[in-house]
Structure 1
Amino acid sequence: MSLPPAPGSPCPARRLVLDPLVGDIEGEHARLRAAGPLAAVELPGGVPAWAVTRQAEARALLTDPRLVKDIGAWHAWRRGEIPADWPLIGLANHGRSMFTVDGDDHRRLRAPVQQALNSRRVAGMRARITELTRELLDALPDDGRPVDLKTAFALPLPMTVVSELMGVGPGRRAGFRALFDTFLSTRTAPAEVGANQAELTAVMRSLADARRDRPGSDLTSTLVATRESDDPFTDEEIVSTLQLMIGSGYETTVCLLVNAVVNLSAHPDQLALVRSGAVGWDAVVEETLRYSAPNSNFLIRFATEDVPVGERVLPRGDALVVSYGAIGRDERRHGPAAGDFDITRSPNRHISFGHGPHVCVGAALARLEGRVALAALYGRYPELTLAVPAERLSHRPTVTQNALSELPVLLGPATP
């Protein structure tokens, strides 16, 4: 599918095609930055959009009321040019949740989730995260052969944490992973898009129904209980919020953990700094978030008016992507050494968890998981190394995530 430019929209001489197979993620991010603060891009499926690539401009756009989440403001959608089976449609039109609305509706739908993930409650989860981390480390093989650390450690930790937060039993979790992998993949065939979304909806509705009959102390029960309040969630809002929380609640943290290990393996001087105690694990987490943003391209907002960005204009009715992968190494914000992985960087004011009203509600939890997991991992396996050269690591086919397919490592001897 290749769409014509919207009537009245500028026709860029060349759109940067975002590679659906993610063959050269760093090169793509560099090309986006070189194209200026507002780059014309083509999303998988030939869908035209714009990408903001610099931090100052991104901060301004993420708080600009002329940019909205309502897909009805997207002219190409209203003209029928974006098919319902577009593989990425679920990231723009998956139902009513805090992800897809603005203003008072956004604040209403965000409130119970934000309360469940406030700083006090997140701090109270440290002991459980520490326990889960230790159990996963204890289960790692000690036969000296390569281990896929993503599958064995980086994925099950946040999956278990978010599942327990939401009240999802162990029997459902493997199925969730498969559904969300299909949801995010650019390789999902159009014929599978609708069926996958229907199954996700059915599974989330089943989870909500189970908590309606047998409420607990989890967030799903809290969402369901709003039905009896003065400002109730609709069934659609509950289902969409569950999908948003479970999917985003583990995927970002998986990428954070995997990318941190890759970065430390490629920069042994930085690993030595943190292992010596000269720098804390919080600095490793923040520099990984900046240098290798887990969300490489965040879909999607729509302009309700023409919005000037640098020397270009984001036209009314067009779609905007926030390219956090490009923004993280913006030299205008982080200086000429923006391309260096440097855990001593100070200040390190990145926006990889977003900015403005839609800033990631689970950022504090992801940071805590990262600090606890990385400290325990390298405390147990101080000689951990990659089992293959870094250039042989491959990315999953998703333009939205900076996500490796696997992470083969050699653990080395364990400390007592």
Structure 2
Amino acid sequence: MHSPETPTPPSLPRHRPLLDPAAEYGRWVRERPLARISLWGDVHPWLVTRQEDARAVLSDPRFSSENVRPGFPGLQPTPPPRTPGQLFAMDAPDHTRLRRMLIPEFTFRRVEQLRPAIGKITEELLDGLTEREQPADLVEHFTLPLPLLVICELLGVPYTDRDFIHRQAAAFATVSAGPEAMRAGWGALFGYLQKLLEAKSGAPGEDLMSKLAAERVATGEATSAEAAGMLVQLLIAGHETTASMLSLGVIALLRHPDQLAALRADEGLVPNAVEELLRYLTVVHIGLRRIATEDVELGGVAVRAGEGVVVALQAANRDPAVFADPDTLDLTRDAGQHLAFGHGLHHCLGQSLARAELQIALPMLFRRLPGLRLTGPAAEELAFEGRAVHGVRELPVAW
């Protein structure tokens, strides 16, 4: 509680430029790397901006992800919906028990086996795009359907339900819409996937949902509700973030023609380029939220039990102590230390899949459409407002 004499901490920025973090983060990572911020009401958690401190928080079990704990620095004053299987809001051992059920489908080796299928989907989408009148919306016809098709096939979800899926996922991800709308989006997908799970248990296939139904739910290792909750998270995270990365990656490369030229000249640069784009763009821009379960010293500051912490990934990925000239897009830099996929227990399960999609789609897009250019309004005018994942709602292009 802040007394009238105590200055109110600065608010967590809710708006950001298209390709960069909010300007405040650049100052804070240098001047106040661990300091209080204001979220809503009288909630003033710690904001972490340095990468060293971010790694410390995300790897320390004394910082809990359970968003129903009193004082948790959530996105809204109202606690979010709590359904079984929400890995992002769980701690060990329950988190460990459920996550290990999914790991075999997302290993590097398994994802490498999926590359031909991802390449085929990419080619087919580009075939369809090039047959359209120009300008065409790259989001509608390429950057959104690509990861959505891939995750639907992997999970065993009918792609014919794509409009419903994306609409509900977008509702859950739109923080500015309020907790009821977010709850409704999650709940709709949860109910939808529970019904699909029931159907798969009677007629299983080779997809992940079938394996969960036959090998985990049927054996009692997980409840159907836990399985449905995990699938909701995979379905949302499996397309929202990659779709935004593809769209913003295209914009970033077109606005940095020297970097695009380097990529075109040497496709061996692609894996490194993707890591740099992930660092530079950091599309998950609302911060990773934790709460201390006991007193912890962090960066020379005492964080007390019950105090919230917000880890600003976009600041940590522009930390000048780790990345020289961090606000410059440099596809040749070693960006391997970025935290775009998080760190520790909750690091992104699908990071190998996201990397594969980006590594395949971006060079193929620019190879097939060498004259690709943005048309229509400035991309800044098309950015999402109030979304947990930064991106653009449409992207008119010609080629």
**Correspondence for 1:402:** 390
Instruction: Give, in whole Å, the separation in 2 of the partners of 1:76 and 1:108.
Output: 23
Q: Once the 2 structures are TM-superposed, how far is the Cα of residue 33 of structure 1 from its aligned partner?
A: 2.8
Paired residue secondary structure (1:19): coil
Match of 1:301?
290
1:157 alignment counterpart: 146
Q: Among residues 91, 94, 97, which one is paired with 1:108 in the alignment?
A: 97
Closer, same or farther: CA 83–207 of 1 in aligned 2, 3 Å: same
From 8, 11, 14, give the equivalent of 1:16: 11
Asked if 1:356 corresponds to 2:351, the answer is no
CA shift for structure 1 position 372: 0.5
Q: Which runs of 5+ in 1 are unaligned?
A: none
CA contact (8 A) 1:22 1:397 kept: no
What do residues 174-223 of structure 1 show as CA deviations (whole Å, max 9, x unaligned)? 10100011111123145434433332221121121221222111111122
Q: Does 1:227 align with 2:223?
A: no
Whole-angstrom CA distance in 1 between matches of 2:46 and 2:165: 31
Structure 2: distance between partners of 1:29 and 1:245? 29
The alignment's C-alpha RMSD in Å is 2.8
Change (3 A) 1:408 1:41: farther
| CA distance in 2 between partners of 1:16 and 1:82 (Å) | 15
1:131-190 Cα distance to aligned partner (Å, 9 max, x none): 100110011145663222112101100000000111001222210100011111123145
Secondary structure of 2:53's aligned partner: helix
Aligned to 2:193: 204
**1:248-306 residue CA offsets vs partner (Å, 9 max, x unmatched):** 01111112211211111111011111111175211221111000012112442211123
Provide the TM-score with structure 2 as the length reference.
0.90
Inter-partner Cα distance in structure 1 for 2:142 and 2:85: 33
State the number of aligned residues: 395
Whether 1:365 aligns to 2:314 is no
Q: Give the drift of 1:77.
A: 8.7
Partner SS state of residue 139, structure 1: helix
Q: Give the CA deviation at 1:235.
A: 2.5
What letter corresponds to residue 65 of structure 1 in structure 2? P
Tell me, yes or no, if the aligned pair for 2:249 and 2:277 is still in contact at 8 Å: yes
Structure 1 residues 211 and 329, CA, compared in 2 at 3 Å: closer, same or farther? Answer: same
Choose the corresponding residue for 1:341, options 317, 323, 329: 329
Q: Report what 1:33 is aligned to.
A: 29
- Cα 1:98–1:273 shift into 2, 3 Å: same
**Aligned AA (1:17):** L
Matched residue type, 1:49: P
Q: What SS is found at the alignment partner of 1:103? A: coil
How far apart are residue 112 of structure 1 and its match?
A: 2.1
CA distance in 1, matches of 2:177, 2:138: 25
Indicate the larger mover: 136-145 or 337-346.
136-145
1:384 correspondence with 2:369? no
Deviates more, 1:20-29 or 1:216-225: 20-29
How does the TM-score come out when normalised to structure 1?
A: 0.86
Percentage identity across aligned positions?
Answer: 34
Cα distance between partner residues in 2 of 1:407 and 1:44: 33
Q: Is the 8 A contact 1:283 1:343 kept in 2?
A: yes
Seen in structure 2, the aligned counterparts of structure 1 residues 22 and 291 have a Cα distance that, compared at 3 Å, is closer
- Unpaired runs of 5+ residues, structure 2, are none
When structure 1 is superposed on structure 2, of 137-146 and 116-125 the one drifting more is 137-146
TM-aligned CA distance change 1:387 to 1:28, over 3 Å: farther
